[in-house]
Structure 1
């Protein structure tokens, strides 16, 4: 074994055993060389390898520090918990070093701009970069129609409140749909109605009737990897929705928040079929990088940019974050990380599907065949008491989310399901977690 390999092995062991904890500074290069009886170049090479593995990170003029380890500092039961509830990206694949490099580069490149308030629409360079970035998803637009927002939620809030050219006021939402947005619409007193969406898709005839008679301002939809269903519209459905929008002067707000997690097939969003300027396209960057980045992009057709800008009124997202994202995309880092994380999630989704097939032989649980994204719904028998089921699973250190909260408060056509997320589920735990869920649903006697 080469000397630096021995140093790496020893440091990895000490980190694993807790001798070096999250955030702790490692010995300086000089003192580590003396401790291991080797040259400074050997320690630099060992530290460099550990950086590449995302086990440690460096701070210029300061030293090397241990990256946060999953579950460290938590109780034993928490470290053993199977998490099917969190939708946050896996911390183990967070691109620490790449994004740190981009932040440093952004400061050097945009240092004068970072001390200004910035443009309401967002950093001009990032918006120009996004023109070609969005074109890869078949969304063709100019920089003047792109707005950088504080996540997709900010854009959704502005769109709900601003007037639209069609003069309508009611927001149409899929049922089930994004729970936080549903609660926002209800709390703000915005007129809202629902239309059923299942794993099989949507009733286009019913959608057309609502477009024709419902006074619909816009239809909020997630065309792929829908939250909470995890399913995507078929190409013919996407084309039909775009055509109906133009026919009845109803706008579509397409929340393509998981645009980058598609793995197995080419996907053209509803916006790609828009011929009349009725589709508003929204994209988030948090599912690929990290939620704290809190950056989204809104592409606005027709006369909407001027109204949207009036309601946005000021720059409210970090210029440094925007500049770093610009560098991250331009340098090809975003594309590389996208492929890495989509393959990771696809492998976890496959493991979940295989485990469900193995343990659900009785067919008590129904689930669509989903191979990409992070969500999969488990449809349950109507006799199941969801609250009791969640408690029983919690007792077994398994966290899941009830589908109950993904409907409007007064909506009656509900399905009973669990929303499963695989983004934070550790690969070695998926099989055991699925087995436990099936066992509890099959128990039956305690409903």
Structure 2
């Protein structure tokens, strides 16, 4: 990363965390240059970019000052402690960067943006995604990449289309992504579950399912699992890929939060498959903003024709695709990724510290999570989940219970709260954790 971008990112982070408050004067250009170990011109460039983004303003003969935040949501201003929302923090949305990319995209593509385009997605974006995905150890060709309307569209197509192994049952982790489970049951698609906990998955049980369960594909989240927050070990990822190859079962790997971690050694299941049995899915909604509704699916050669038979029209905004291509190519995406990853990691750390401080009796079990946005608070079996969530809501604490993350007929359920840190304000985390533990204590008596 260029030095001025590093300075830019650091100052933005300090403004977001309140270290630099609205109206506060920033260090002089000379002092900042000395502090960052760079030239005065580099700091001047960073300050100029911050001023262009309306993050700071300058006063002649005085210096640079932090702009006050005028657009603060009612949730932030209120006493609400939001551990429920899964959408990104609106305060870190890259509005100005993406606005610039939209304008640039219009300049570059002009009238092409007003055609129907290709159902596979904008070709230039798919070329850019080849190198982008390679950074996550997903090596593929442009022909195998499909741009989708979020990950949900790809999941629905894969559920409905026939697979070359001739099998019909979709195997899902329990618990798992609630919206997908509801879709599968509503559509009457054959589905069965396999237990996954904060400690992982039973690989011997998985092999038995693959061997005798008429499994079409296994839907899994290899890292930052929703709702558990945990990631598979290297051994688990390697074994899942090996079992898929051995028993001709496909794996749909939903790596929707791939960019939120700092685990440089993490290779997805896709990287270990020798026979192209893994369909790799990546979302851009959790990093940029949900309204973008763009995802990428890496489809094995043997599934391509059938996938596009079911995805037989263009339904993804060409303008959004073009803007994303500019956003990634310019390096803005990489910078934003580091910024949001660092902020979320700080919130996870604050959450873990709060648990250690207030959970001295060990009343709740907490999944070992350091990155991502979700953490599982496993509860005593005696707790009434509905009453607990209502009690917390009365105290203006929003949480999500485990109820919706299971198939309707699945019996081996754990009782827990899914805690999300993406929208909760850092200064409210300790208060919220303390209140949750107090409420669980009362429910346990």
> Are residue 69 (structure 1) and residue 68 (structure 2) matched?
no
Q: Which residue of 1 aligns with 2:409?
A: 410
Rounded to whole Å, the distance in 1 between the matches of 2:49 and 2:176 is 46
Q: Helix, strand or coil for the counterpart of 1:267? A: coil
Check conservation: 1:139, 1:272, Cα contact below 8 A: yes
> Are residue 272 (structure 1) and residue 271 (structure 2) matched?
yes
Alignment of 1:12-51 (within 5 A): 49=51, 51=53
Count of residues paired in the alignment: 393
Q: Which residue of 2 aligns with 1:150?
A: 149
Rounded to whole Å, the distance in 1 between the matches of 2:254 and 2:48 is 44
Q: Which residue of 1 aligns with 2:243?
A: 244
Check conservation: 2:89, 2:422, Cα contact below 8 A: yes
Rounded to whole Å, the distance in 2 between the matches of 1:244 and 1:234 is 15
In structure 2, relative to structure 1, the CA distance for the partners of 1:323 and 1:91 (3 Å cut) is same
Q: Which residue of 2 aligns with 1:172?
A: 171
Rounded to whole Å, the distance in 1 between the matches of 2:344 and 2:136 is 20
Rounded to whole Å, the distance in 2 between the matches of 1:46 and 1:242 is 49
Deviation at 1:161, TM superposition (A): 0.2
Rounded to whole Å, the distance in 2 between the matches of 1:197 and 1:53 is 44
In structure 2, relative to structure 1, the CA distance for the partners of 1:265 and 1:443 (3 Å cut) is farther
Alignment TM-score, normalising by the size of structure 2: 0.85
In structure 2, relative to structure 1, the CA distance for the partners of 1:416 and 1:314 (3 Å cut) is same
In structure 2, relative to structure 1, the CA distance for the partners of 1:184 and 1:198 (3 Å cut) is same
1:107-154 residue CA offsets vs partner (Å, 9 max, x unmatched): 000112101100010000000000000000000000000000000000
Rounded to whole Å, the distance in 2 between the matches of 1:214 and 1:333 is 45
The answer for unaligned runs of 5 or more in structure 2 is: 1-20, 24-46, 58-66
Alignment of 1:346-425 (within 5 A): 346-425=345-424
1:64-87 residue CA offsets vs partner (Å, 9 max, x unmatched): x99772324x7x9x7210000001
Deviation at 1:302, TM superposition (A): 2.7
Rounded to whole Å, the distance in 2 between the matches of 1:136 and 1:68 is 37
Q: Which residue of 2 aligns with 1:17?
A: none
Q: Which residue of 1 aligns with 2:32?
A: none
1:77-104 residue CA offsets vs partner (Å, 9 max, x unmatched): x721000000111111111110000000
In structure 2, relative to structure 1, the CA distance for the partners of 1:144 and 1:67 (3 Å cut) is farther
Rounded to whole Å, the distance in 1 between the matches of 2:236 and 2:68 is 49
Rounded to whole Å, the distance in 2 between the matches of 1:145 and 1:412 is 38
Rounded to whole Å, the distance in 1 between the matches of 2:100 and 2:121 is 22
Check conservation: 1:54, 1:67, Cα contact below 8 A: no
In structure 2, relative to structure 1, the CA distance for the partners of 1:48 and 1:380 (3 Å cut) is closer
In structure 2, relative to structure 1, the CA distance for the partners of 1:320 and 1:257 (3 Å cut) is same
Rounded to whole Å, the distance in 2 between the matches of 1:210 and 1:307 is 25
Q: Which residue of 2 aligns with 1:53?
A: 55
1:184-234 residue CA offsets vs partner (Å, 9 max, x unmatched): 000000000000000110000000000010000000000000000000000
Rounded to whole Å, the distance in 2 between the matches of 1:128 and 1:50 is 31
Check conservation: 1:286, 1:295, Cα contact below 8 A: yes
Deviation at 1:442, TM superposition (A): 1.1
Q: Helix, strand or coil for the counterpart of 2:229? A: coil
Deviation at 1:443, TM superposition (A): 1.7
Deviation at 1:46, TM superposition (A): 10
RMSD: 2.0
Check conservation: 2:174, 2:407, Cα contact below 8 A: yes
> Are residue 315 (structure 1) and residue 303 (structure 2) matched?
no
Check conservation: 2:285, 2:293, Cα contact below 8 A: yes
Rounded to whole Å, the distance in 1 between the matches of 2:200 and 2:231 is 8
Q: Helix, strand or coil for the counterpart of 2:366? A: coil
Alignment of 1:57-206 (within 5 A): 69-72=71-74, 79-206=78-205
Rounded to whole Å, the distance in 2 between the matches of 1:397 and 1:347 is 23
